Structure 1
Amino acid sequence: MTPLSPPAMLDVTCLRRVRPWGADAVDIDIADGRITAIRPAATDPIGVREFDGRGLLALPGIVNAHAHLDKSWWGLPWQSYGGEGGTDGRIRHERAQRDALGIPSIERSAVVLRELVRHGTTAIRSHVDVDLGVGLRGVEAVEQAAARYEGALDVQIVAFPRDGILRRPGVLDLLREAAGRDSVNWVGGLDPATIDRDPVGQIDALVALAADTGVGIDIHLHDPAELGAFQIELLVERTQRHGLGGRVNIAHGFAVADLAPARRRDLLAAMGEAGVSMTTVAPLRNAQLPLAELDAAGVALGLGTDGIRDLWSPYGTGDTLGVAWQYARAGGLVRDDDLLRVVKLATSAGAWAVGRELHDLVEGARADIVLVDAENPMDALVRQPERALVIAGGRALHVA
């Protein structure tokens, strides 16, 4: 396949006549990749390296808190779903087929990044497979694909042991090696009870690695009900014991939605106290994580796209705002306050997932801005309009 051309990027000095969060029109000045001033919209002509927002709605750049940039076959001929179901069955199918598709590779990751950017994503936390078959090739491919954006696009990596840790001797050493790379901010895990069949062993290994190296933990946990809750409790206890608050995330966490209300309340309270966060991809086959209860307990929640057209599923477009729509619709959220809260999960309130204290349309923030033709954020969520302009780190990466 012909290599993708480097992404076109244009420095922006001012974004004119835009409506942040649906407010009155303003001009947003940008320098050195940051918002330097927000002032009433001027009427003078548009200057060089200025963009006319034409009164469009401005939102902070979309944060994808759970992606898999190394795994997609997007850009290749259609791949029919095959193999067995279930987590272990999908792992076996992927191991058998990925080499023939050139997965992982720089080009496969570059295609996914291009689609994420087109949908307004400016910051990404991506799980990248680390196992005995690919070693660190996936990490290297994602690093190089992201490097094409010269720092404008914020891509952070979770070294993800897709094939288990303890059941594959040598994987823990690979994770430790990955944790030494600048791009790797977290190490992952996968269903300690059902994949490694040793929940205490896998969790203790990950916690020790995090404590030794300074990286965080972002663990896939699909196990339901009490089995899942038991593993969450193990993580909470060890997070508190080792002072890892704010550095441990549970991806999917289906068990939380399965529990009885009183049991869930106590578990979420413990997670909030320990500083354990959650991410969801809003799967339609499961009950959704209860946003109001997470907020009440102080448990941060992020939204992500998961895998996109990969050997696990042919679905996915790379649109995290689309996932936000799915989360709101499936959860029965209809009131303006709730819809706005969901938009913020995908934008400003997703800052924690990429290690930012501030991600918003305010002075001093990184200039990550998305323009859409919508009346307000709620309208943008329910209609999913095309992203008219995507600016990341002060550079225009996509213009519709």
Structure 2
Amino acid sequence: MHAPHRFPPPLHRPQRAPRGRRARRCRVRHRHRRVRHPAGPGEIDGRGLLALSGIVNTHAHVDKSWIGHSWQSYGGEGGTDGRIRHERARRDELGIPGLDITRRVLAEFVRFGTTALRTHVDVDLGLGLRGIEIVRQAVDEYDGAILAEIVAFPQDGVLRRPGVLELLRAAVEAGAQHIGGLDPASIDRDPVGQLDAIFALAADTGAGIDIHLHDPAELGAFQFDLILDRTEALGLSGKVNIAHGFAVAQVDAVRRRDLLQRMGDLDVTMTTVAPLRLPQLPLHELDAAGVRFGFGTDGIRDLWSPYGTGDTLGIAWQYARASSLVRDEDLRRVIELATTGGAPFAGIAGHGLNPGDRADLVLLDAENEMDALVRTPPRDLVVGGGRVLYER
């Protein structure tokens, strides 16, 4: 580097995001190669490090963390409904959602190389649209250096809480790009009703749909069918995502083949956080059917779980390891999913290391993409929108 830059300190104490800290433009001359060349004016010396495209977190919850607070012991009941009740009971006490917390979460993402994301933000009768306003403010402080799309997420259900549908409409009118949903069968206990309502709202407003679907096996697969039926009937191909979708990996091979083929035909996408306790989404079968998918971190030290670091590359490692992926072509494919393949989930076109692409990149000390995945080394330099956001 020619002159010192100011970068955010590690995010274990409050700080403001790096608004206005503009760095020199960085030119990347080789894709996924170790590069060494003298830095000229307006350039950054890559120091022989490996360059990857900026990492894309396709399933985040930046509004829900307790990071920055003292340790919070796990409490409350298990299961989706139990965690919802526990979170509602304690979130005001912890100031969730809060601007400082959201800043910390975003800074942790950046430290691990994330330059774009799709985040779910809770919308309910207690919060209104406050969470969306906070997340938008925290993202705006980066002044375009990181990109984020927002899903208005009805964490506490849709139909069982009268007034939530109206809030979801208001969220879209206020700029949320997607409408969320949650386990239509097990949370609202009315899968047809919840999905009819969400899809009608999306068709009316032009918003996308990004629905959490944890329900397992055939119960989950039945809801896949309902989602696909409505996607086709309303002409929403390319605008629907199913998050988690554990059922795909739990039904028999023929049922899975038919589901995936229909998803590919309708361009219904998936996102996964690669949970270790469950079978992973099948990489080769999704690719063969043309089903696009991406990786996300889910929550980070929130009232659902104390785990989570904000490292999407770490989630990609977890997915590859749990899926027993060992061949170079598969490891490269996983890296692609974590970077360029995830770009459409954040509304980005031209996300790579080619001339004319948005200048989002990560430098790290690795031999190649496969080595970067299996070792997940520290990120040495993170550039978003042509600005240095983090340097180790």
Q: Aligned ranges for residues 164-203 of structure 1 at < 5 Å? A: 164-182=157-175, 184-203=176-195
Q: Alpha-carbon deviation of 1:12?
A: 2.4
Distance 2:68 2:199 in 1: 38
Q: Alpha-carbon deviation of 1:172?
A: 0.4
The 3-state SS of whatever aligns with 1:333 is coil
In structure 2, relative to structure 1, the CA distance for the partners of 1:198 and 1:112 (3 Å cut) is same
Distance 1:298 1:78 in 2: 43
The 3-state SS of whatever aligns with 1:138 is helix
Q: Is residue 259 of structure 1 aligned with residue 271 of structure 2?
A: no
Q: Which amino acid aligns with 2:69?
A: L
- In structure 2, the partner of 1:12 is 24
Q: Alpha-carbon deviation of 1:11?
A: 2.7
The 3-state SS of whatever aligns with 1:88 is helix
- In structure 1, the partner of 2:78 is 85
Q: Alpha-carbon deviation of 1:10?
A: 2.6
Q: Is residue 335 of structure 1 aligned with residue 327 of structure 2?
A: yes
Q: Alpha carbon RMSD of aligned pairs, Å?
A: 1.5
Distance 2:42 2:16 in 1: 22
Distance 1:358 1:243 in 2: 26
Q: Is residue 25 of structure 1 aligned with residue 17 of structure 2?
A: no
- In structure 2, the partner of 1:127 is 120
* Per-residue deviation, residues 84-134 of structure 1 (Å, max 9, x unmatched): 000000000000000000000111110000000000000010000000111
The 3-state SS of whatever aligns with 2:121 is strand
Q: TM-score, normalised by structure 2?
A: 0.94
Which of 326, 344, 351 lines up with 2:343 in the alignment? 351
Q: Which amino acid aligns with 1:7?
A: P
Distance 1:157 1:70 in 2: 11
* Per-residue deviation, residues 226-276 of structure 1 (Å, max 9, x unmatched): 110010111111101111111000000000000101110011001111110
Is the contact between residue 121 and residue 131 of structure 2 (CA under 8 Å) also seen in structure 1?
yes
Is the contact between residue 131 and residue 171 of structure 1 (CA under 8 Å) also seen in structure 2?
yes
Between Structure 1 and Structure 2, the one with more strand by share is 1
Is the contact between residue 16 and residue 103 of structure 2 (CA under 8 Å) also seen in structure 1?
no
Distance 2:228 2:282 in 1: 19
The 3-state SS of whatever aligns with 2:177 is strand
Q: Which amino acid aligns with 2:35?
A: A
Q: Aligned ranges for residues 55-134 of structure 1 at < 5 Å? A: 55-134=48-127
Q: Which amino acid aligns with 1:54?
A: R
Is the contact between residue 13 and residue 49 of structure 1 (CA under 8 Å) also seen in structure 2?
yes
Which consecutive residues of structure 2, in runs of 5 or more, have no partner in the other structure?
A: 1-11
Q: Alpha-carbon deviation of 1:19?
A: 4.6
* Per-residue deviation, residues 319-368 of structure 1 (Å, max 9, x unmatched): 00000000000000000000000001100111121122321111111110
Is the contact between residue 116 and residue 346 of structure 2 (CA under 8 Å) also seen in structure 1?
yes
Which aligned segments of 4 or more residues in structure 1 are displaced greater than 3 angstroms? none
Which of 388, 391, 396 lines up with 2:383 in the alignment? 391
Distance 2:122 2:41 in 1: 43
Is the contact between residue 271 and residue 299 of structure 1 (CA under 8 Å) also seen in structure 2?
yes
Q: TM-score, normalised by structure 1?
A: 0.93
Distance 1:282 1:89 in 2: 22
The 3-state SS of whatever aligns with 2:181 is strand
* Per-residue deviation, residues 342-398 of structure 1 (Å, max 9, x unmatched): 001100111121122321111111110110110100000011111111000011100
After superposing the two structures, state which structure 1 stretch, 350-359 or 276-285, moved more.
350-359
Is the contact between residue 14 and residue 104 of structure 2 (CA under 8 Å) also seen in structure 1?
no
- In structure 2, the partner of 1:296 is 288
The 3-state SS of whatever aligns with 1:269 is helix
Q: Which amino acid aligns with 1:118?
A: R
